[in-house]
A and B are shown apart, each in its own frame.
Chain A
Amino acid sequence: MYEIIEKAELAHTVYFFRVKAPMIARKRKAGQFVVLRLNEAGERIPLTIVDSNDKDGTISIIVQEVGKSTAMLGDMGPGDSILDVVGPLGRPTHVENFGTVVCVGGGIGVAPVLPIARAMKAAGNTVVSIMGARTKPLLILEKEMRETSDELHVTTDDGSYGHHGFVTQILQKFIDEGRELGCVVGIGPVPMMRAVAGVTKPHGIFTVVSLNPIMVDGTGMCGACRVTVGGKNQFVCVDGPEFNAAEVDFNELIMRNRSYLKEEKAAMEEFTYHEGAKCYEK
């Protein structure tokens, strides 16, 4: 059991948790994630490790309520325990001194961007960040991003705060201004990552995205997380989660993430319905 030590609401339906997991806290590097299972009947869901504290043995996660499992986690709080937490999974971010790194975070994607921005900063890069959300109340981690970045740009789709528009517009502006960009890291909803790749690819700017396919084991055993990268099947949980954006088949990922739309909806609606293994469709 992994105890929740602290909880905070960052935005509507977006929560921050600090969870006791000393072994994971000691090993974890930027870019890695955990898979957790809330209870005996729970599914295994992957979440990025946003931060860790080796001294008190905690890891931090930020979760957005999008379905049953994340909503159940959202209902938990300090003193509650999560049944299983496994990690740190995935390969750590490749960090080096690129000169200038642009960190682009969309929505909840700012959560995984933050540790990468910190690591890039620590490696001597100039970190320029762009973070965006649909609307102001959904912006998270602005203070932390500002502390970490040499320069921060904020956008909202509805213009309620910062630049009125999309994160990619700012990125495009940098390119038009002829800024020297060593590396771009883009994390957010898949369509946003696809758009980032679309902006940088024609200019040959090295761009990294962190993919969020549906996972089961997270250890390379099942293949649920496969994504086509450079024409080849890659298992995101062991080969990723970060890949060269120019090579990712984003449309396939968007399609595959819709696999269980019907079931996910049913799960939300029928929390307690139980027919066991019985065949009720015949």
Chain B
Amino acid sequence: MDPKDTKGRVKIPRQKMPEQPPQERIRNFFEVPLGLSPAQAMEEAKRCIQCKNPLCVGGCPVNIEIPWFVRLIAEGKFIEAARKIKETNGLPAVCGRVCPQEEQCERVCVVGKKGEPVSIGRLERFAADYEREHGEVSVPELPHSTGKKVAVVGAGPAGLTVAGDLVKKGHKVTVFEALHTPGGVLVYGIPEFRLPKKIVQSEVDYLKRMGVEIVVNAVIGKLETVDELFSNGYQAVFVGTGAGLPNFMNAPGENLIGVYSANEYLTRVNLMKAFQFPEFDTPVIRGRRIAVVGGGNTAMDSARTALRLCPEEVTIVYRRSREELPARGEEVHHGEEEGLKFQFLTHPKRFIGDADGRLKAVECARMALGDPDESGRRRPVEEKGSEFCIEADVAIIAIGNGANPLIPQTTPDIKLNKWGNITIDQDTGRTSKKGVFSGGDIVRGGATVILAMGDGRRAANSIHEYLATGVW
């Protein structure tokens, strides 16, 4: 096709992502979207009109040179495309799958003004998968060692990005992770059917091959404090401990058997593989009817996980209406295909148990949308006398997280905001404590993978500068 044939390009339809059919996939934990074929990817890539002034790049929080890598795919140069992406994004196989593209790069794509935007995320995933599956992931040549040591606390997307960037600059990096597996939310939160764990594993292996040392089972604040890391010879510390402490509603009956936080439910199933109980030792209550409270990605992941554990009915209970659902449209659509039910404008008031303390129903009230609140969204108000019960033996509370207290408890000179999140200088990622940088969910509260990685990138640059100059 003539590169200037813009009209011909926009006529190509957006390529359909092959998927496991709903009836099949709710009986397994394998990935739902199967990935574009090479032919499909090349066809999709041709839809990009190679804008002179590509808006998509500005829509991506880490400014991937999108037209460039897309052109390489159109030319069949898949490995080169993957390398191009990796110049700016260390975890393309992850972001291509879990980024809210429709609100970022793809939202501003000009092709999307008239029809559907270029599938940037799927192409990114395609390139990264192709590179990994064809065994051509090469380790870049590393510069001469600077002799400086950096400690990274937390092996989530923020911490892993910092680690990757800093080894490439010649520093020695040790990542301390509290759990027994690195990856943060990517391994304990986001389910296998959305992000296969072997992908996270291979990204972690790549970092190790570049020389990053990863110490698991290391809870900083307990095993060693931040100050002790400095006295052990680390010259800078990055804190990427993510969100912690799941929020509860403080509703009566919330501690009944069968009421889980989304973190607990997902950790049991994803990290501890409770779906393979009793081959794996960690149990989870499978339940017959499951109510999931909340409307974000975490609620959707919990609900779709629950569907795969075989209950009769899984219902999302959300206090606003469908329009306000914060979860990605694609996830809601996938959930509905899988038989997920919704109770909108509904708020749980009380959890009701049987004589053994096991959950049997959730009492809810109907809500109406009132005037907008500080966030600009219309505030739900309870309709008096509208109470009704939803039968449920498992309830999963997915209403966000607070901040983990372990580091602040032992390092009081790191300043926090009123919610307990670490405050940083926006341009450098510096905290109030000399030599300590931070980013990701511990700073932002719940955010996204790509924002956490963007924070990591920025912090890595300023750590590099700080190590070179010693100026704080």
- Which positions in A face B, CB cutoff 8 Å? 23-24, 27, 37, 41-44, 68-69, 83-89, 216-217, 219-224, 226-228, 233, 235, 238, 252, 255-256, 258-260, 263-264, 266-267, 270-274, 276-282
Question: Is the Cβ of B278 less than 8 Å from the Cβ of A263?
Answer: yes
Question: Is the Cβ of B404 less than 8 Å from the Cβ of A222?
Answer: no
Question: Is the Cβ of A84 less than 8 Å from the Cβ of B255?
Answer: no
- In whole Å, how far is B181's beta carbon from the nearest beta carbon of chain A? 9
Question: Is the Cβ of A86 less than 8 Å from the Cβ of B255?
Answer: no
- In whole Å, how far is B109's beta carbon from the nearest beta carbon of chain A? 37
Q: Kindly identify which residue among A221, A258, A263, A279 contacts B277, using a CB–CB cutoff of 8 Å.
A: A263
User: Is residue B369 within 8 Å, beta carbon to beta carbon, of the partner chain?
Assistant: no
Interface size of B as a range: 35 or more
Q: Kindly identify which residue among A233, A266, A281 contacts B278, using a CB–CB cutoff of 8 Å.
A: A266
Cα A24 to Cα B285 with chains together (Å) = 33
Q: Kindly identify which residue among A87, A221, A227, A280 contacts B245, using a CB–CB cutoff of 8 Å.
A: A221
User: Is residue B61 within 8 Å, beta carbon to beta carbon, of the partner chain?
Assistant: no
Cα A228 to Cα B217 with chains together (Å) = 28
- Can you identify 14 A-B contacts, CB atoms within 8 angstroms? A23-B218, A216-B267, A217-B178, A220-B245, A221-B267, A222-B261, A222-B267, A255-B257, A259-B258, A272-B279, A273-B279, A277-B28, A280-B310, A282-B310
| Known contacts A87-B223, A267-B277; is-contact A220 B283 (Cβ 8 Å) | no
| Known contacts A43-B282, A223-B248, A277-B29; is-contact A216 B257 (Cβ 8 Å) | no
Question: Is the Cβ of A260 less than 8 Å from the Cβ of B283?
Answer: yes
Q: Kindly identify which residue among B27, B218, B273, B357 contacts A256, using a CB–CB cutoff of 8 Å.
A: B357
| Known contacts A220-B404, A222-B264, A255-B357; is-contact A267 B308 (Cβ 8 Å) | no
Q: Kindly identify which residue among A24, A228, A252, A278 contacts B27, using a CB–CB cutoff of 8 Å.
A: A278
Question: Is the Cβ of A216 less than 8 Å from the Cβ of B264?
Answer: yes
Taking CB atoms, residues of chain A closer than 8 Å to B216 are: 84
Cα A259 to Cα B358 with chains together (Å) = 8
Question: Is the Cβ of A219 less than 8 Å from the Cβ of B272?
Answer: no
Question: Is the Cβ of A223 less than 8 Å from the Cβ of B245?
Answer: yes
| Closest B residue, CB atoms, query A86 | B217
Cα A127 to Cα B162 with chains together (Å) = 51
User: Is residue B13 within 8 Å, beta carbon to beta carbon, of the partner chain?
Assistant: no
Q: Give the most central of A27, A220, A260, A278: most B CB within 10 Å.
A: A220
Question: Is the Cβ of B264 less than 8 Å from the Cβ of A223?
Answer: yes
Taking CB atoms, residues of chain A closer than 8 Å to B405 are: 220, 238
| Known contacts A259-B257, A277-B276; is-contact A42 B178 (Cβ 8 Å) | no
User: Is residue B418 within 8 Å, beta carbon to beta carbon, of the partner chain?
Assistant: no
Taking CB atoms, residues of chain A closer than 8 Å to B256 are: 255
Question: Is the Cβ of B248 less than 8 Å from the Cβ of A216?
Answer: no
Question: Is the Cβ of B357 less than 8 Å from the Cβ of A258?
Answer: yes
| Closest B residue, CB atoms, query A232 | B250
Taking CB atoms, residues of chain B closer than 8 Å to A226 are: 248, 255
User: Is residue B419 within 8 Å, beta carbon to beta carbon, of the partner chain?
Assistant: no
Cα A70 to Cα B293 with chains together (Å) = 35
Question: Is the Cβ of B279 less than 8 Å from the Cβ of A235?
Answer: no
Chain B interface helix/strand/loop/mixed: loop
| Known contacts A221-B267, A223-B263, A238-B405; is-contact A27 B223 (Cβ 8 Å) | yes
Cα A235 to Cα B406 with chains together (Å) = 12
Q: Kindly identify which residue among A217, A219, A221, A252 contacts B255, using a CB–CB cutoff of 8 Å.
A: A252
- In whole Å, how far is A84's beta carbon from the nearest beta carbon of chain B? 4
| Known contacts A23-B223, A87-B222, A216-B267; is-contact A279 B255 (Cβ 8 Å) | no
Cα A37 to Cα B179 with chains together (Å) = 11
User: Is residue B328 within 8 Å, beta carbon to beta carbon, of the partner chain?
Assistant: no
Question: Is the Cβ of B267 less than 8 Å from the Cβ of A276?
Answer: no
| Known contacts A41-B280, A223-B245, A259-B257; is-contact A88 B222 (Cβ 8 Å) | yes
- In whole Å, how far is B253's beta carbon from the nearest beta carbon of chain A? 11
Taking CB atoms, residues of chain B closer than 8 Å to A256 are: 255, 257, 357
Q: Which of B194-252 contact A (CB under 8 A)?
A: 216-219, 222-224, 244-246, 248, 250
Question: Is the Cβ of B180 less than 8 Å from the Cβ of A271?
Answer: no
Q: Which of B364-411 contact A (CB under 8 A)?
A: 404-406
Taking CB atoms, residues of chain A closer than 8 Å to B427 are: none
Additional A-B contacts beyond A37-B180, A217-B178, A222-B264 (14; CB < 8 A): A27-B223, A41-B273, A86-B178, A216-B268, A217-B179, A219-B178, A220-B405, A223-B245, A224-B260, A266-B278, A267-B281, A267-B283, A274-B276, A278-B27
Cα A44 to Cα B222 with chains together (Å) = 18
| Known contacts A44-B272, A89-B219, A263-B278; is-contact A220 B357 (Cβ 8 Å) | no
| Closest A residue, CB atoms, query B228 | A27
Cα A205 to Cα B310 with chains together (Å) = 50
Q: Give the most central of B216, B254, B281: most A CB within 10 Å.
A: B281
- In whole Å, how far is A75's beta carbon from the nearest beta carbon of chain B? 14
Question: Is the Cβ of B28 less than 8 Å from the Cβ of A224?
Answer: no
Question: Is the Cβ of A219 less than 8 Å from the Cβ of B244?
Answer: yes
Taking CB atoms, residues of chain B closer than 8 Å to A282 are: 310
- In whole Å, how far is A187's beta carbon from the nearest beta carbon of chain B? 21
| Known contacts A222-B264, A281-B310, A282-B310; is-contact A84 B217 (Cβ 8 Å) | yes
Taking CB atoms, residues of chain B closer than 8 Å to A280 are: 310
Q: Kindly identify which residue among A68, A88, A217, A221 contacts B223, using a CB–CB cutoff of 8 Å.
A: A88
- In whole Å, how far is A103's beta carbon from the nearest beta carbon of chain B? 25
- In whole Å, how far is A225's beta carbon from the nearest beta carbon of chain B? 9
Taking CB atoms, residues of chain A closer than 8 Å to B273 are: 41
- In whole Å, how far is B192's beta carbon from the nearest beta carbon of chain A? 9
Cα A84 to Cα B216 with chains together (Å) = 9
Cα A213 to Cα B465 with chains together (Å) = 46
| Closest B residue, CB atoms, query A24 | B223
Taking CB atoms, residues of chain B closer than 8 Å to A220 are: 244-245, 404-406
Cα A42 to Cα B286 with chains together (Å) = 19
| Closest A residue, CB atoms, query B272 | A43
| Closest A residue, CB atoms, query B193 | A277
Question: Is the Cβ of B246 less than 8 Å from the Cβ of A222?
Answer: yes
User: Is residue B275 within 8 Å, beta carbon to beta carbon, of the partner chain?
Assistant: yes
- In whole Å, how far is B324's beta carbon from the nearest beta carbon of chain A? 25
- In whole Å, how far is A138's beta carbon from the nearest beta carbon of chain B? 26
User: Is residue B87 within 8 Å, beta carbon to beta carbon, of the partner chain?
Assistant: no
Q: Kindly identify which residue among A68, A69, A83, A86 contacts B219, using a CB–CB cutoff of 8 Å.
A: A86
Q: Give the most central of B255, B276, B285: most A CB within 10 Å.
A: B255
User: Is residue B5 within 8 Å, beta carbon to beta carbon, of the partner chain?
Assistant: no
